[in-house]
Structure 1
């Protein structure tokens, strides 16, 4: 959208440029200015390097990290860099933590953290999302905004897509495929998950091989993350959508452990 200084008195790009000049220098440029005759009226040496920044902008959103904990809760952390932002309107007061199943919302407000409420030895802000309605294997989007004492809120410029998970198993045993059978739709929430199939019960490092009923190799998935699941979107090695039918999978680890099973796709 347009910035706040674009209002009913501003109707052309040139007028927008004039308003930007006024916001930066604090000087009013009359509409009979000589900007249009080819003369450069903004000589850098005649103006302060930093300007006045007379624009009512909120504090920026912080840079966030999102991670899964061993109990399947989700941890959000961010630093204190935005507290040092020097050209925002008002005074920074708090941070709002949001979650949504779609990147454009609607957004659910999870928590409000007052300024200075850092709660880790690393001097970071931290929020734990242990909502049981956000299920393991589902995707969601997180965002954290900054709020000042004039109730101005930053944009959600740090939107982060995240899949809720559990830490990898120490020793591979039985691995489960969910949903099984897959019937038309996965049932997972979030965007882009309609065709998702999940492998659950994985160690940190393993290789998943998927075969057709006739024994043809369909895909090879290298799992090398500290989580116990791996999503699969029914796309073959040749980038083709898998046909309905029965499929087999074999999972092996670098230590020589091996397990397998089967799953069914119905469309």
Structure 2
């Protein structure tokens, strides 16, 4: 949305927007965008019926995320040398937009759009299903008027919304009868892909792209902004309660950055209490699990005082109406 301060607006009202005391124009935090941005243009002197066209470019580019996301500390000095390369890629993106603008936004090669996707975790089968409408059936290249749709590709990231992403299904081909039998849900008429190679407690991000016969591919504009994970159903007792990863190591736990400190209890009943203690018997945290759809509970390694736990040996207990359980946990940092 846009908000224009007209000539009657006071300096105080503008400052209230700047310092945040007036948040009426800020975006919803769930939108994952800048809460508020103020921009000014001009001043211009224009005559009656004249106009000024202002074009704003937001360019994002740089080094491939997979190349820089896990650079060891020892390589930081030499990694700085790559910044000029990233700056060059950013400038190239700006130059490409300038060419597009001068060409009145006409693209010689236009891929089919990325379809809107629906992501559904299936705890009973420990899978995550991605589905989408058959946009291939109605796609027409605006440049040629022909349907040059070729296939879909499915991508996944187990780290974050921005990736890096790995292609987990290279081609789902609408023109292939085997693919249509395998990947179209007969009840909904939608394309459907089941991701069976997942880990419980790990958050995943998905995207589906569309590719035409010339190899032009759409972008991952349909990815989910919040991680999706498949959880197991609640257990009927506490006989098989477990915790993972155990031992926990900072570099060998969950790959998702948001879940980097997560420790998960599994096979829990729908209602129970998890109490965590140090090896000296000091109470660290109590987790209240109340979920009729999941037998898992995640601990972010924060104590009841919101402090990060120290490395060491910890003990835990589970208490519920259907039984109790106990065990140990090792945290290595």
Q: TM-score w.r.t. structure 2 length?
A: 0.54
Distance 1:109 1:264, change over 3 A: closer
Counterpart residue number, 2:316: 249
Counterpart residue number, 1:72: 126
* Equivalent residue runs for 1:140-179 within 5 Å: 140-160=204-224, 161-179=227-245
Distance 1:235 1:86, change over 3 A: farther
RMSD: 3.6
Counterpart residue number, 1:45: none
Counterpart residue number, 1:98: 155
Distance 1:79 1:247, change over 3 A: same
1:222 pairs with one of 274, 283, 289? 289
**C-alpha distance after superposition, 1:105-153 (max 9, x if no partner):** 352342422238322312221112334xx44444443321112233221
Residue 171 of structure 2 corresponds to residue 112 of structure 1: yes
CA distance in 1 between counterparts of 2:126 and 2:199 reads: 9
Q: Do the aligned residues in 1 keep the contact of 2:238 with 2:322 (CA within 8 Å)?
A: no
Distance 1:100 1:12, change over 3 A: closer
Q: TM-score w.r.t. structure 1 length?
A: 0.65
**C-alpha distance after superposition, 1:165-209 (max 9, x if no partner):** 433324433311223333454434443444332212123444433
CA distance in 2 between counterparts of 1:222 and 1:87 reads: 52
Distance 1:16 1:88, change over 3 A: closer
Displacement of 1:241? 0.5
More helix by share: 2
Distance 1:239 1:83, change over 3 A: farther
Q: Do the aligned residues in 2 keep the contact of 1:249 with 1:260 (CA within 8 Å)?
A: yes
Q: Do the aligned residues in 2 keep the contact of 1:99 with 1:110 (CA within 8 Å)?
A: no
Distance 1:154 1:203, change over 3 A: farther
Tell me the number of residue pairs that the alignment of Structure 1 and Structure 2 aligns.
226
* Equivalent residue runs for 1:1-267 within 5 Å: 17-20=101-104, 23=106, 56-64=109-117, 65-80=119-134, 84=138, 91=147, 92-102=149-159, 103-105=162-164, 107-115=166-174, 117=180, 118-131=184-197, 134-160=198-224, 161-212=227-278, 213-224=280-291, 226-253=293-320, 255=321, 257-267=323-333
Distance 1:12 1:139, change over 3 A: closer
More strand by share: 1
Distance 1:105 1:122, change over 3 A: same
Q: Which runs of 5+ in 1 are unaligned?
A: 24-53
Q: Which runs of 5+ in 2 are unaligned?
A: 1-58, 61-91
